[in-house]
Amino acid sequence: MEKESMEDGIRFVASHYKKGAFDRVKAWNLTTATYRLRWRRRLTAAAAAAAAVVVASALTIVYYGRDRQPDAQVTAPYEAPAPAKKAEDSTAKFEFDGVALTDAVKEIEKAYGVKLEGVPSEPKELTLTFEGTAPDLISLINESLDTNIAIAR
């Protein structure tokens, strides 16, 4: 019986034998390939776990972060500031009764905050009552006394 089982074993090996099946190099390559496959699977699983942690963290921050934001403040609509008034556009009241033109010019410059040019050097007297803007007053003085006074720009 022993001889028969031995022959069956030899027949089995002979029928399934492939050249190089027991080569040490091929066996080593097969073993390293198996290890590589196992490591790839482990690395893939680790990468997937890390990605899941990052996504869960981001979702937590977004979800719970909403409650930590300050409430929106309601503000009034924007109103543009009024354009600055020029000094010469402001109004002032004057009463001159026989005042020298040079003295009147000094008062006008002081009241309106402007500088006048073209004031004649010869002595002239000014008599008038006026309330209004600097350009209107200068125009009235020029017509009355035949002068060329102007506001310096």
Q: What is the pTM of this model?
A: 0.44
| pLDDT in the model for residue 34 | 72
- The tokens for 82 are 């009024």
Cβ-count burial of 141 within 10 angstroms (0-12 exposed, 13-18 middle, 19+ buried)? buried
pLDDT tens digit at each of 153 positions of the chain: 688 888 888 888 778 777 766 676 666 666 666 777 778 888 899 999 999 999 998 888 777 766 665 555 656 676 767 666 665 578 888 898 889 999 999 998 888 888 999 998 888 888 888 888 888 988 989 998 889 999 887
Letter string b/e over residues 28-67, b meaning 16 or more CB atoms within 10 A of that residue's CB: eeeeeeeeeeeeeeeeeeeeeeeeeeeeeeeeeeeeeeee
